[in-house]
Amino acid sequence: MKKISKNSQTVFSPFIRLSCIIFCLTLLVLGNKTSFSATIKIGEINPLSGKLAKQGMEIHQGVEVAIAEANEAGGVGGKQLKLISRDDQSQPDVAISRAEELCGWEKVRALTGGYVDSLVGPIAAVAKKYRIPYVASASLQKELVQYENPYFFRVSRLQGFVEPLCGILTERFKPQRLAILHSATPGSTELARDLEGCLKANGLEVKLIEKFRPGTPDFTPLIGKLAGMKIDVIVSGGFSPDHILLVRQLKENRVSLKAYIGPFGIAYENFMRTMGEDANYLYSTCAWNPGITEPGSEATSKSFVKKFRQMFKRQPNTTNMHGYTSAKALIAAMQAVVSNGQTLTGDNIRLALTRLDLEMPMEHLVFDQNGDPLHYRHVVVQVQKGRLVVVYPPDRASGQPVFPMPSWEQRN
Amino acid sequence: MSFFASKNTKFRTQGLKFDSVGFVTGFLLLTLLPVLVQSNNYILQVFTHALLLANLALAWNILGVSGSISLGHAAFFGAGAYCSAVLSLEYGFSSWFTIPLAGLLAAGLGLIMDLICLRLRGAYFALATLAFVEIPRVITDNWDELTHGSLGLVGVPGLPSLSLGTWSVDFGSSITASYYFVFAYSLVLLGLVRFLFNSNLGLAFQAIREEEIAAEAVGIPANRYRLLSLLLSAYFTGVTGACYAHLVRYIEPGLVYGLHFSAIPMIFAICGGRFTILGPAMAALIIYPLNQFVFHPLLPAGHEFLYGVVLILTVLFLPAGFWGSLRKVS
Amino acid sequence: MWTTAVVSGISLGSFYILMALGFALIFGVTRNFNLAHGELVVFAGYVSYWLWKVFAWPFVLTFPVAILATLLICLGLQRLFARLCEPLELNSIVLSFGLAILIQNSMLFWFSGDYRLIRIPTLSRGLRLPGFYLSYGQLTLLFLSLTVIAILYILMYRTYLGKALRATIQDKEAAAQAGINVAVMGTLAFCLGAILIGLAGPLYGCIHYLYPSTGHQITLLAITITIFAGVGRLGGIILAGWILGLAESFAVILYGSSWREMVAAVLLLALLAFKPRGILGKGEQ
């Protein structure tokens, strides 16, 4: 390093130089604020780095497809839509900063995106402050809609998972010794709690509820416990990696079950490919998949798949669809505002969202007075021969469930 | 002792002069920031968090100065965050009361940690702190009745409000007010750290850090002083955690007890300069906004890289930290 | 249920031992804390996965390549560590922490965040014994861990080189004075450590799954086992691994999975408080 002279005055030079550079860079970036009035700005905040990066990216891709489609069809009111995407780094304080940036600095007309409730919640609070509607792509917990926030809407909710699970367990499977496992995360914990409540109300007893930390390296002692208690059906609220390990270790220990239900993370092509044959006979819930779509929306579903493949060169999954649906809701609301001859203010868009009635591949989208999607409901699927077969509810089923699952010895 | 005193006076005076200029510049800039940016909420929000992280780094460094590196300060951060959040959300106490109390809980945890790690030094101590985080974390995670367990706490009340006669300000409701609240806290903490450094207590800490056995020989009870530095460090980390909970208003165990809040203060303190007063704060106030304003828009997935690179370059080329090296050449 | 607990405890322990050995060796000889250990294991796993998946190599053949790749990186690492000044242990913690962040993010970039699994069907099959089922995977872990420790034992206690290594572990300065080239010992330790890491990586990929962020967990594990065992004690490592594995298994059965992590932490802290020299140590420092 260059020797700096002992004169205390010149010591400031590197410091001052450095701070000038930083200051200028900052001004450069901040001064780069997009401000064309010929476009309509829509903001989006997702975890694009950190531990939720994968899912955040998938939501983002779904939103991009919706925006691209709308722009190709001429935009809204003749103006093109501009998507301003930000990363909350899976940290709430960054989510708040990004929300302030988009709402206060960039002055977007509406917000979408978001992956877990600890990130969605803070963003919703900022959106409320600026009176900008926020349609969250993947929020689940009840508490988020209990604090009065007329600017918060979401296209998913936990009830959509709990109801079909409760239904198939009480109507079809009727397990004698049911265990609910869940991950030590808010969404998974609330699912377990709500499911237990629903089952109890329908007279079904849960023998064991256990919580594990996501990323647990070994489930064998738990499996021993399950085998010792002669558990016949497991509902595991873990995520893909937990299923990967748990199912494999169930196989390794030759602990056979009548059914294994994993609401999160199973109905994905990636998971089924990684697990291969071991994924067969597993149950999951599914909001949407190419081929599994709300009756009447097949055309929209097909065109979404086609557009997605064109843009990203692979099959879309349900997470992409959540992003797509939330963005479409915003676009539809904006179009309603424009066709009524009103200006695109936050309050007008919000009002249009409350009146929204949209047929989407994932659901028939209508918001209730709290911003919850009224008709969001998963179907229960089973992996059969490497493909997803809808087995519940009966009016959407495309096949029969293989229940009980063949034992591990039979499958070898 | 007089040997220590004379050597330090010279170093102290020169370094202090540099510190004073840096401090005054920083103080002016930060005090006037809301005016400079015309109350731009986005910029203020980022700097509020930068100040919070600066406090975290300063608090961590109180322990660092006495020679112990902790990799588990998230235990105190999380305990403080949950204590204040639960007391204010579930029992309705005002944050004026719960924030200092949260610090006390964290200090209590620090006492327990010290009792366990009494005979450990250096790397063994660091690793023990790493393991220690699990204890408050798992307890918080499983104590559903008190903390809502894994569900996390939603809608934690904001920062407190202050009324003096007819004038009142709610620190939780406006970003500018929150900014000044955290800034005021930073000044208090900075004052304390400066006092520590320049007092005989600070000298004792330095003595323990440099050569523990010799220090014992001169009559400085190392264990007792380390306990003191740990208690102070834990207290202020707990208070910082409580402020975080009231700023962000949504917490869950995985977040506040996570490795992120153990690593960040260490990174900032080491990069800024472990043996300086201002170093940790400077690092936080420069690196975090740099990350948010410059690196983030430019390369969204690469920002973590920045922390890693800065850490490696610092430890290899600038062992005294950025600020420490600048001081040394003066 | 209890036999499964014991079996799973020992096989889990064997898994832990294999993950920890590389770290223990490097730390023992060079006093360098390699917090990037976990990331290196995951990297070796990814190398193996890539060869197995993309080029359809037989799994066993991927081990040498993984080991070689890790060797190259570890030698580079050693150059970096050699540039550190005192206090060595603390500075190496900080340096390796930064490296861990770098390696983790590079892997995230190159391999994406998808979960990767090396599927070896044979490992899922096994023997049905009275009271429980023992899979070939669990047997392999047990067998491998014992074999590797046996080889290390022969190396450390029956060869001159091993003696030199042990001397360096015990007291670097005295060893240097006795004429042992401490720098060469350091390089040797890094090489051996790299081989062990290269062995652990592919195993991790087929017993567990690969994901860029799992590195941190593996590192924690390795640190726990090393401290448990006490520095430089081979026998201690086996004991440490098994005790930890058994403790976790029993904790899950007795108290539930949600207390698992705390049990390991309390065990480690208790050990550090009462026997800072490790489980086979002779008491106070």
Of C93, C101, C268, the CB nearest to B126: C93
Determine the average pLDDT of the residues in A167-184: 94
Q: How far apart are CA A55 and CA A317, in angstroms?
A: 11
Give kind and range of the element (H or E) at residue A149: none
User: Chain B residue closest to A21 (CA)?
Assistant: B290
First-last CA distance in chain C: 40
Q: How far apart are CA C84 and CA C104, in angstroms?
A: 22
Q: Which residue has the higher pLDDT, C194 or C181?
A: C194
The region of weakest confidence among A79-83, B209-213, C41-45 is: B209-213
The interface residues of chain B toward chain C in range 38-77, judged by CB-CB distance below 8 A, are 69, 71
The whole-number pLDDT of residue B8 equals 46
- Find which of A15-19, C30-34, C277-281 is predicted with most confidence, using mean pLDDT: C30-34
Q: Which residue has the higher pLDDT, A399 or B20?
A: A399
Determine the average pLDDT of the residues in C266-271: 85
Of B42, B149, B155, the CB nearest to A189: B149
Tens digits of residue pLDDT in C102-142: 898 888 888 877 788 888 888 777 888 877 778 888 888 88
Q: How far apart are CA C9 and CA C242, in angstroms?
A: 7
The whole-number pLDDT of residue C79 equals 86
The region of weakest confidence among A145-159, B195-209, B236-250, C239-253 is: B195-209
The whole-number pLDDT of residue B274 equals 82
The whole-number pLDDT of residue A24 equals 63
**Percentage, residues of chain C above pLDDT 90:** 15
Q: Give residue C263's pLDDT band: very low, low, confident or very high (50, 70, 90).
A: confident
The whole-number pLDDT of residue C198 equals 93
The region of weakest confidence among B19-23, B24-28, B156-160 is: B19-23
Q: Give residue A205's pLDDT band: very low, low, confident or very high (50, 70, 90).
A: very high
Does B132 sit within 8 Å of C102, measured CB to CB?
A: no
Residue B250 backbone phi and psi in degrees, to 5: -140, 115
A358/chain B closest Cα distance in angstroms: 30
Residue B88 backbone phi and psi in degrees, to 5: -85, -35
The whole-number pLDDT of residue A35 equals 54
Q: Give residue C285's pLDDT band: very low, low, confident or very high (50, 70, 90).
A: very low
The whole-number pLDDT of residue A148 equals 86
- Quick check: B19 contacting A, CB < 8 Å? no
Tell me which chains share at least 3 CB pairs under 8 Å with chain C: A, B
Say yes or no to pLDDT of A70 above 50: yes
The whole-number pLDDT of residue B301 equals 63
Say yes or no to pLDDT of A191 above 90: yes
Contacts of C108 in chain A (CB under 8 A): 53
Nearest alpha-carbon partner for A382 in A130, A75, A164: A164
What mean pLDDT, rounded, does chain B reach?
85
Please enumerate, as own/partner, the contacts of B38-41 that have beta carbons within 8 Å and a separation of 24 or more: B39/B175, B39/B176, B40/A104, B40/A105, B41/A100, B41/A104, B41/A105, B41/B175
Determine the average pLDDT of the residues in C262-285: 70
Say yes or no to pLDDT of A129 above 60: yes
What mean pLDDT, rounded, does chain C reach?
84
Say yes or no to pLDDT of C101 above 50: yes
Between A and C, how many residue pairs show a Cβ–Cβ distance under 8 A?
104
Does B130 sit within 8 Å of C220, measured CB to CB?
A: yes
Task: Report the b/e string of B194-229 with b at 16+ CB within 10 A.
Answer: bebbeeebbbbbbbbbeebeebeeeebebeebbbbb
Sign of the alpha-carbon torsion through C85, C86, C88, C94: negative
Say yes or no to pLDDT of B116 above 90: no
Residue B249 backbone phi and psi in degrees, to 5: 70, 5
The whole-number pLDDT of residue A6 equals 44
The whole-number pLDDT of residue B173 equals 82
Say yes or no to pLDDT of A8 above 70: no
The whole-number pLDDT of residue C264 equals 83
Contacts of A253 in chain C (CB under 8 A): 4, 132-133, 135
Task: Report the b/e string of A182-200 with b at 16+ CB within 10 A.
Answer: bbbbbbbbbbbbbbbebbe
Does C217 sit within 8 Å of A217, measured CB to CB?
A: yes
Does A188 sit within 8 Å of B293, measured CB to CB?
A: no
Q: For B16-329, give the CATH class.
A: mainly alpha
Using DSSP's 3-state secondary structure scheme, residue A44 falls into strand
The whole-number pLDDT of residue B109 equals 96
CA dihedral A310, A314, A315, A320 (to 10 degrees): -80
Q: How far apart are CA C239 and CA C281, in angstroms?
A: 12
Q: Give residue A132's pLDDT band: very low, low, confident or very high (50, 70, 90).
A: very high
Strands (E), B46-159: 153-154
- Quick check: B299 contacting C, CB < 8 Å? no
- Quick check: A94 contacting B, CB < 8 Å? yes
B318/chain A closest Cα distance in angstroms: 10
- Quick check: B250 contacting A, CB < 8 Å? yes
What mean pLDDT, rounded, does chain A reach?
89
Using DSSP's 3-state secondary structure scheme, residue A180 falls into strand
Token output for B258: 């996570």
The whole-number pLDDT of residue B75 equals 96
Q: Does residue A316 have a cis bond before it (omega within 30 degrees)?
A: no
Say yes or no to pLDDT of A377 above 70: yes
Say yes or no to pLDDT of B4 above 60: no
- Find which of A229-243, B107-121, B202-216, C163-177 is predicted with most confidence, using mean pLDDT: A229-243
Contacts of C34 in chain B (CB under 8 A): none
Q: Give residue C283's pLDDT band: very low, low, confident or very high (50, 70, 90).
A: very low
A289/chain C closest Cα distance in angstroms: 19
Determine the average pLDDT of the residues in A277-294: 93
The whole-number pLDDT of residue C274 equals 78
The whole-number pLDDT of residue A7 equals 43
The whole-number pLDDT of residue B302 equals 66
The whole-number pLDDT of residue A28 equals 59
ipTM, two decimals, is: 0.87
**Percentage, residues of chain A above pLDDT 70:** 91
Token output for B144: 């559903």
Q: Give residue A217's pLDDT band: very low, low, confident or very high (50, 70, 90).
A: confident
Say yes or no to pLDDT of A178 above 80: yes
Give the residue from A13, A21, A25, A49 with the most B CB atoms within 10 Å of its CB, the best one to mutate.
Answer: A49
Say yes or no to pLDDT of B106 above 50: yes
Q: How far apart are CA A43 and CA A82, in angstroms?
A: 8
Tell me the sheet residues that pair with C127.
C134
* Domain ranges, ordered by start, for chain C: 11-214
Tell me the sheet residues that pair with A206.
A178
Tell me the sheet residues that pair with A154.
A136
Say yes or no to pLDDT of A296 above 70: yes
The whole-number pLDDT of residue C130 equals 77
B103/chain A closest Cα distance in angstroms: 21
Say yes or no to pLDDT of B3 above 50: no
Left if phi > 0, otherwise alpha if psi is -120 to 50, otherwise beta: which for B291? alpha
> Which pTM was predicted?
0.90
Nearest alpha-carbon partner for A157 in A367, A373, A391: A373
The whole-number pLDDT of residue C65 equals 93
Of C85, C87, C284, the CB nearest to B122: C87
Say yes or no to pLDDT of B1 above 50: no
Q: Give residue C284's pLDDT band: very low, low, confident or very high (50, 70, 90).
A: very low
Determine the average pLDDT of the residues in C57-73: 92
Q: How far apart are CA A38 and CA A76, in angstroms?
A: 11
Give the residue from A55, A60, A220, A319 with the most C CB atoms within 10 Å of its CB, the best one to mutate.
Answer: A220
Say yes or no to pLDDT of A328 above 70: yes
Q: How far apart are CA B5 and CA A205, in angstroms?
A: 73
Residue with tokens 């009111």: A77
Q: Where are the alpha helices (DSSP H) in A108-228?
A: 117-130, 159-168, 186-201, 220-228
Residue with tokens 């009065």: A148
Determine the average pLDDT of the residues in A265-272: 91
Tens digits of residue pLDDT in A135-154: 999 999 888 888 889 999 99
The whole-number pLDDT of residue A412 equals 64
User: Chain B residue closest to A92 (CA)?
Assistant: B248
Q: Give residue B5's pLDDT band: very low, low, confident or very high (50, 70, 90).
A: very low
Token output for A62: 């779904």
